[in-house]
Amino acid sequence: MSGYPYRLLTAWVAALALAWLAFSSPWNAAWNLLLAAFALALALLAIVIVTRRRRARQRASQPVLQALNASLDALPGDIRRNTPLILVIGDAAGALAFGEALVTITDAAIWVRVDDPPRLPHLADALKRWREGQGPDAVAYLVAADLARDAAVLHAGLRRWRSAIGEASRALGYALPVCMAVYMEESAGTADACPWFGVSGTALLQADTLPTQIAMRLQQYAQADMPPDRKFRMHRAARLDALARWATDALLPALCESQRDGYRHERPARVTAFGVIATAGVPAADSLYASFVAKATALAPASRTGRPDTQGIRYPLPAALIQGIASQPVRRTLPLALSHAFAWLALAFCAAAAASAWQNRALVARVMHDMVRYRAIGTEHDAARVDALQAIKRDRDLLEGYARAGVPLRLGLGFYRGAAWLTPLNALIAGYQPPPPPPSTIELDSLSLFRSGSATLNPGSNRILFGALEMIKGHPEMRVLVAGHTDATGTPAANLRLSEARAASVRGWLADAAGLPPTHFAIQGYGDTRPKAANDTEAGRAANRRVEITLVPDCRDTNRGDRTTSGRSACSFQ
């Protein structure tokens, strides 16, 4: 695999996000579905963008690759990787070094010419694929000093190429080393061919010390020949020294200094090699560096002005300068992609662990809250205790379900602590004791409340009714049935009316004393129909003359669990 699998990695990240939402998310189903749809849409959009950019890159590099195939495909694979591959850029010098060709193969390197800055990143990435993961080794920036006559045009070209080098470095995954080669023309028919004078290595060049280093080499060059050629060499060395100083002042800052292009900060180009050379030709008197040479050396420039004639001129490629630049290693994208996939997997696991810890904390907090709430309710509030007990039973059933069927992934991952709470929950459930049942009936002697044959309460009878009043106040949720009974003395009809009248009198007193509406009570007269003892003795007749006060549940309390009773009648008074 020579290309980075952006689409496959995007699908992997989307799958991890969906798995987290399905098995570890603490949110409800609606939110999980919404987030899953958003993750899928985002992944599809990213895949579409990557696909479109890849196709655009292929279209942009296809013409250049077709031209390269004829020269490069015939080379064995080991030569492709072992021979340095240099991308040659420059506004005009590239044509003077290559002629009409796009590729030049020498003993030192494979030279690939790039004339359009936007194509540099696409071609660099395509060559990395062609070399099976080994990208271009360097960029050679060729500058023809005699063709540079406009400072604005020169600086604009430098900025365009610097931006293209930065884009190519980002596409390759490493900073491309840059070799700057500067040419000057000198009159033909002079002495020997000029060598390259410069510095090459792996470290970044220092522009302030670079002219001094080149000047030392030029001085050695000028003094290394016999007297007949020394004058010419000294003249050439002076011009080259001025050329080096002009290039370090006019060219290197545009590549090596930090700049801000709008809102984007462009990193400096990694210039590790720099050199100057003189080639056969006629120097231009109106170039930018010609005036600099004249001021620096006091040498009169040639008389040629206007557009120079480049017919027959061929610039040498800077083979000597690239020897100090290290070859790029093979960078396989599969290990990098696998490391990124593992990093995303580790991130997803950390997110799942965090969600599990948070949900376990919420589960334990809920169980503790239910237990504290149950313990805080007194036994006198049995209805509230029963409601709290139901919550505890739900917690117990949930934890027992986890113990039987297994802990779900959203609570697992080593953070589950619910099993330790089963014992205290069962203890609370087992320890619940319902309150003792209230006294169902209070029986009052009628002769203690009424005179014989009367339904009017005797003075002082309220002391006898206080016990019944306390029972009623203690159970305000219960209805009250007041039933009157008589002995068999008299007619049954008269006994029935007397028993009902006495029950009504007792109800009236209890309603006023308890502050309850009369509808909270029900009365019933039974007369002599329900005797407790035989009516043939005085003791039996005294036992049958009574008033019974009975607490009965409300209909809603029996059927729906609602204990509110105000204004309602009792269920049954049979």
pLDDT score, position 526: 92
Q: Quick one: pLDDT at residue 227? A: 61
pLDDT of 166 over the 70 cut = yes
Residue 199: which of 185, 180, 184, 172 has the closest Cα? 180
pLDDT digits (tens, 9 = 90+) for 54-90: 887 777 677 666 766 776 666 665 676 788 999 999 8
Q: What is the mean pLDDT of residues 24-36?
A: 93
Give percent of the chain above pLDDT 90.
40
**Residue pointed to by tokens 């802990």:** 407
Kindly state the average pLDDT of the residues 318-342: 88
What single-letter DSSP state applies at residue 431?
Answer: T
Question: Which has the closest alpha carbon to 528: 499, 550, 502?
Answer: 499
Q: How far apart are CA 307 and CA 284, in angstroms?
A: 8
Q: What is the CATH number of domain 441-559?
A: 3.30.1330.60
Residue 22 is predicted with a pLDDT of: 92
Which of the residue ranges 154-158, 219-223, 423-427, 551-555 would you say has the lowest mean pLDDT?
551-555
Element (H, E) at 50: helix 29-72
Q: Say whether pLDDT at 556 is over 80.
A: no
Pairing outcome for strands 270-280 and 177-186: parallel
pLDDT at 558: 43
Residue 518 CB-density burial (10 A; 0-12 exposed, 13-18 middle, 19+ buried) = middle
- The whole-chain average pLDDT of the chain stands at 84
Between CA 235 and CA 240 the distance in angstroms is 9
Question: Where exactly are the structural domains of the chain?
Answer: 75-331, 341-430, 441-559
User: 524-542 pLDDT, tens per residue?
Assistant: 999 989 998 888 888 888 8
User: Strand 270-280 relative to strand 197-200: parallel, antiparallel, unpaired?
Assistant: antiparallel
Lowest-pLDDT range of 97-111, 338-352, 360-374, 511-525: 97-111
Q: What percent of the chain has pLDDT over 70?
A: 86
3-state secondary structure at position 350: helix
Which residue from 12, 3, 8 is spatially nearest to 347, judged by alpha carbons?
A: 12
Which amino acid does the sequence have at 401? G
Residue 273 has what pLDDT?
95
Give me the pLDDT at residue 226, please: 63
Distance, in Å, from the CA atom of 5 to the CA atom of 337, rounded to the nearest integer, reads 7
- Pick the more confident residue, 286 or 302: 286
User: How many Cβ atoms sit within 10 Å of the Cβ of residue 28?
Assistant: 8
pTM: 0.61
Mean pLDDT of 23-46: 94
**DSSP secondary-structure letter at 322?**
G
Better-predicted residue by pLDDT, 347 or 291? 347
* pLDDT above 50 (res 567): no
Does residue 306 surpass a pLDDT of 60? Answer: no
DSSP string, 1-30: --S--HHHHHHHHHHHHHHHHHHT--S-HH
Distance between CA atoms of residues 230 and 221, nearest Å: 9
How many secondary structure helices (H) and strands (E) does the chain include?
Answer: 18, 13
Q: What is the pLDDT of residues 114-136, one digit of tens each?
A: 988 988 998 898 888 878 888 89
The per-residue pLDDT for 319 is 93
pLDDT tens digits, residue range 245-298? 999 999 999 888 776 555 456 788 999 999 999 998 878 888 898 888 777 666
pLDDT at 569: 40
| Widest distance between CA atoms in the chain | 170
The β-bridge partners of 41 are none
Quote the CA–CA distance of 539 and 550 in Å, as a whole number: 24
Dihedral in degrees, nearest 10, Cα atoms 210, 215, 220, 224 = 130
Distance in angstroms (rounded) separating the CA atoms of residues 149 and 143: 12
With bands split at pLDDT 50, 70 and 90, how would you rate the model's confidence at 178? very high
417-433 tens-digit pLDDT: 899 999 999 999 999 88
Q: Indicate if the alpha-carbon torsion angle 529, 535, 540, 542 is positive or negative.
A: positive
Residue range 2-15, pLDDT digits in tens: 577 889 999 999 99
Phi, psi of 519 (to 5 degrees): -70, -10
- Band of pLDDT at residue 563, cut at 50, 70 and 90: very low
